[in-house]
Amino acid sequence: MLTLHPAERPLSGTIRIPGDKSISHRSIILGAIAKGDTEVTGFLESADSRATISAFEKMGVRIEGSLDKHARPHLRVHGKGLYGLSQPSSAIDALNSGTTARLLAGLLSAQAFTSSITGDESLRRRPMKRVITPLTQMGAQIETLARPDCLPMRIHGARLTGIDYTSPQASAQVKSALLLAGLYADTPTVIREPFLSRNHSEIMLRSFGADVTGDIEAIDAYDTPDVFAGAVITLRPGTQLKAQEVYVPGDISSAAFFIAAALLLEGSEILLKNVGVNPSRAGFLKVLSRMGADIEAVEVYEESAEPCADLLVRHAPLSIPGDMLIVGGEDIPTLIDELPMLAILSAFVEGTCVIKDAQELKVKESDRIRIVVDNLRAMGADVTETEDGMIIRGGAPLHGAQIKTHGDHRIAMGFAIASLAVSGETIIDDAECINVSYPGFFRDLSKIA
């Protein structure tokens, strides 16, 4: 339990945002199955990314380096090549990490051994059918051991064949599971998504030498077209992956909390260094600019083919254009993990914010629609839950409340930020869960508070 109080002054100062979680996972996975040693700089130290490290250590991969107390933690992954993993002696525990579980489901489907994956209580409730169905079409042999379509599952390595798969969801976890399985298939794998989901796997696979083509080039630049509809990606198997140097940019999903805080607290001005601004992830910035936010990319550069920027965020009064802001469709995959923070932020802004097409939020680390709505209501906000999102009529004065996180890190951090801008005391029931993605969150917040 943690008690928080409203901020007494504007935020000011500089924070270096810790490494991107999605890219950190991928650096270990690809490093492990590449030939040679992959050097990873800026790896995220967190419970989720450690789950991926432990999984590969269990499969005989040596991973050296220290994650503690460095501004940019450095790891060396001694790659085993595509066929060098060994059978884990017990179940791989993905803990709370959906990315670890789903990406490994793809990779393990093609190995010459049987393995199993489990996770914590939250992860064991999350749907795995979305990967089991297409992987089975490729020839994978996957058994679920408790509830149907959920972890734990046992995977019997099998020979795989490429498929042409149209995914019902824009999900990078599904896409990446199929790409990893596709590396071992005997024919190409094609994945079609309703909208482009984060494309870190494609970018990194290509830099490791895989033959990946499709909608990668279109989104290489920071200023890209708005529409990412109907993305198609093709992977042709047959190339060995070669070890690389990977620089992991800061996680925009972590930066989002401080961006929101600076926008909420009058007089604030903060600099967030080294934020990944890949357009398939940067929807939060786009929506905020529609609300009049003042966020300047003062330096734009690339790290390991991923666009990055230093972001200068100054407080400016936010408003909802025409009193109604609709966030949906192709916006959703580009800000899926920032939706709790966006919903909380819009509760402070006069006007109506409608979040739609976001049913995926129900199957994240918690049911993020219901839990955001319940906690915002507890703070006095006018919010309605809908089938695929929520409607927030912002501008009512908000007060501190007892926040129920349901063990969800992004709920804990989002409402910790809200606590700075409401009246009275806020109590967060479980602040430990923040370690899943951002163990240094409160330390970094105190640097600018």
Helix (H) or strand (E) holding 74: strand 74-80
Rounded to a whole number of angstroms, the minimum distance from the CB of residue 442 to ligand S3P is 21
> Prior bond to 10 cis, omega within 30?
no
Nearer to ligand S3P, 303 or 310 (CB): 303
- Name the residue whose CB lies closest to ligand S3P: 22
Catalytic residue among 310, 337, 357, 444: 337
B/e letters for 126-156, b = 16+ CB within 10 Å, e = fewer, are: bebebbbbbbeebbbebeeeeeeebbbbebe
**How far is the C-alpha of 340 from the C-alpha of 319, rounded, in Å?**
18
Smallest gap from residue 371 Cβ to ligand S3P (A): 15
Q: Which of 45, 202, 215, 337 binds ligand S3P (CB under 6 A)?
A: 337
**How far apart are the C-alpha atoms of 449 and 447, rounded to whole Å?**
6
Closer residue to ligand S3P in complex, CB, 310/337: 337
- Closest to ligand S3P by CB, 119 vs 400, is 119
Residue 219 to residues 73, 91, 203, 252, 285, Cα–Cα distance (Å): 28, 38, 11, 17, 16
By residue count, the chain amounts to: 449
Residues 343-362: x/- map of binding to ligand S3P (CB under 6 A)?
-----------------x--
d(CA 346, CA 245): 40
Q: How far is the CB of 130 from ligand S3P (least distance, A)?
A: 8
| Distance separating alpha carbons of residues 439 and 432, to the nearest angstrom | 8
Judged by CB under 6 A, does residue 366 bind ligand S3P? no
Identified binder of ligand S3P from the candidate list 29, 30, 325, 336, rule CB under 6 A? 336
Q: Does 334 bind ligand S3P (CB under 6 A)?
A: no
357 catalytic? Reply is no
- Residue 337 CB, nearest distance to ligand S3P (Å)? 5
Q: To the nearest whole angstrom, how small is the minimum distance from the Cβ of residue 51 to ligand S3P?
A: 12
**Type and span of the H or E element at 327:** strand 324-327
Closer residue to ligand S3P, CB minimum distance, 115 or 171: 171
Tokens of 292: 């009049």
Query: Binding of ligand S3P at residue 99 (CB under 6 A)?
Result: yes
Residue 68 neighbours by CB distance under 10 Å:
6
Applying CB under 6 A, among 4, 15, 19, 22 the residue interacting with ligand S3P is 22
- CB of 21 or CB of 315, closer to ligand S3P: 21
Question: What is the C-alpha separation between 218 and 213, in angstroms, rounded?
Answer: 11
How far, rounded to the nearest angstrom, does the alpha carbon of residue 257 sit from its chain's CA centroid?
14
46 or 173: whose CB is closer to ligand S3P? 173
3-state secondary structure of 191: strand
For residue 316, the minimal CB distance to ligand S3P (Å) is: 28
The 3-state DSSP class for residue 354 equals: strand
Q: How far is the CB of 55 from ligand S3P (least distance, A)?
A: 15
Mask for 150-189, x = binds ligand S3P (CB under 6 A):
---------------------xxx--x-------------
Q: Of 7 and 259, which CB lies nearer to ligand S3P in the complex structure?
A: 259
Q: Is 286 helix (H, G, I), strand (E, B) or coil?
A: helix
Task: Name the residues that contact ligand S3P, by CB under 6 A.
Answer: 22, 99, 171-173, 176, 197-198, 336-337, 360
Residues recognised as catalytic: 337
